Amino acid sequence: MNFLDNLFKSKQARTSSFNRWPGLINAYRDYLNIDSETEIISLCEGNTPLILSPAIAKACGVPGLKVYIKFEGANPSGSFKDRGMTMAVTKAIASGLRIMICASTGNTSAAAAAYTACARSLGYHDAKCVVLVPDGYIALGKLAQAIIYGSQVIQVAGNFDQALNIVRELADKHPIALVNSVNPDRIEGQKTAAFEVCDQLNGFAPNILCIPVGNAGNISAYWAGFKQYYNFGVSKTKPRMFGFQAAGAAPIVLGKPVENPETIATAIRIGNPASWHMAEAAVKESNGLIDSVTDEEIIEAYKLIHSAQGICCEPASAASVAGLIKVSRQGKIDPEATIVCVLTGHGLKDPQTAIDSSQFSPIKTEASMDSVARALNL
């Protein structure tokens, strides 16, 4: 066989496996509340990588520990919010609604805006997206996404919790689809992340799932997904759920709402989580835990994930890893355990934190090989 034949064969093999992923609703239709005639609004989200991370295992002080990253930054708009949004926008459009509304710390608005644009591409020209963001507390990349995907951005002089109350009221009074995670379709779509983790671990859940907690929809969705996969006999085990809040925005840990939540991890800067009780149930039923991590611990983990592992995530995502490092240093982790940390969103959304958290000082030289070589002591 000559070289070209070989090339052709491997290309065929590649394209047949590469092009197969149909988006998460089509992939997991049998496990989701969706009927067969519904037109799916999808950007082929899901199927995100599960990456083994020796660097995190080492930072935990347990070098042999199997720690995996579920890298949700690989979704089309750069966060796990796409999982819930494909479902929420699909259902809203199917029920005749054309205006999507949400309050957002950034990623929900990016995802809502993207899937509304996707709906327009399928002929729903009057589909519109309105996003309410807390003024001044949203990473620039996320704001840029909401704008360029064509949504109407409203900055409210208040925090996320206030913005959420406003959109809930608006959606009650008008024919508008509320696409925050209080919408059960969001949780339904987000369950698929748990399905994927079990599929990627060959039919087993990890022993522990570590996840950042903000409005607490995602931890609730993962737990619902793990339980469902277990009850259907697809997964042989269920995990313990370990949720982590930022210390300045840790209402569930403190047992009471936080009026003025503060943290560098803006995506989890939430003082009164909408899915509080579901999150507590997930932790209790799974014999898990909920704890908080300081901004210093978050930034330490954030830098480690980038420089020691080569994965780009946003600060809120790093709370899962910071939490794992914290509890493993307290001796709470079995060295034989398999652990998955969810990295919820992509780091490129928040370049300012990347620059601010590192002592960035480029070496300046003349534009000649000699000066560069000298600067490098070569």
Ligand X SMILES: *Cc1c(COP(=O)(O)O)cnc(C)c1O
> Shortest gap between Cβ of 314 and ligand X (angstroms)?
5
Find the shortest distance in angstroms from Cβ 14 to ligand X: 31
Encoded amino acid at 188, one letter: E
Q: How many helices (H) and strands (E) does the chain have?
A: 16, 10
- Cα 354 to Cα 352: distance, rounded to the nearest angstrom: 5
Q: Report in angstroms how near the CB of residue 111 gets to ligand X at its nearest.
A: 9
What does the angle CA 91 – CA 92 – CA 97 come to, to the nearest 5 degrees?
Answer: 150
Nearer to ligand X, 98 or 191 (CB): 191
Q: Is 87 within 8 Å of 186 (Cβ atoms)? A: yes
Q: Which residues bind ligand X (CB under 6 A)?
A: 79, 81, 107, 181, 212-218, 267-268, 314, 316-317, 344-345
Would you say 62 or 189 has its CB closer to ligand X?
A: 189
Which has the closest alpha carbon to 122: 151, 95, 146, 94? Answer: 94
CB of 345 to ligand X, least distance (A): 3
CA distance 300 to 296: 6
Which run of H or E residues covers position 224? helix 217-231
Tell me how far, at minimum, the Cβ of 316 lies from ligand X, in Å: 4
User: Given its phi and psi angles, is residue 47 left (phi above 0), alpha (psi -120 to 50 degrees) or beta?
Assistant: left
Which CB atom, from 129 or from 213, has the smaller least distance to ligand X? 213
Q: How far is the CB of 137 from ligand X (least distance, A)?
A: 13
Nearer to ligand X, 84 or 206 (CB): 84
CA atoms within 13 A on the CB side of 376: 8
Which CB atom, from 120 or from 303, has the smaller least distance to ligand X?
A: 303
Which of residues 151 and 218 has its CB atom nearest to ligand X in the complex? 218
Closest CB to ligand X: residue number: 345
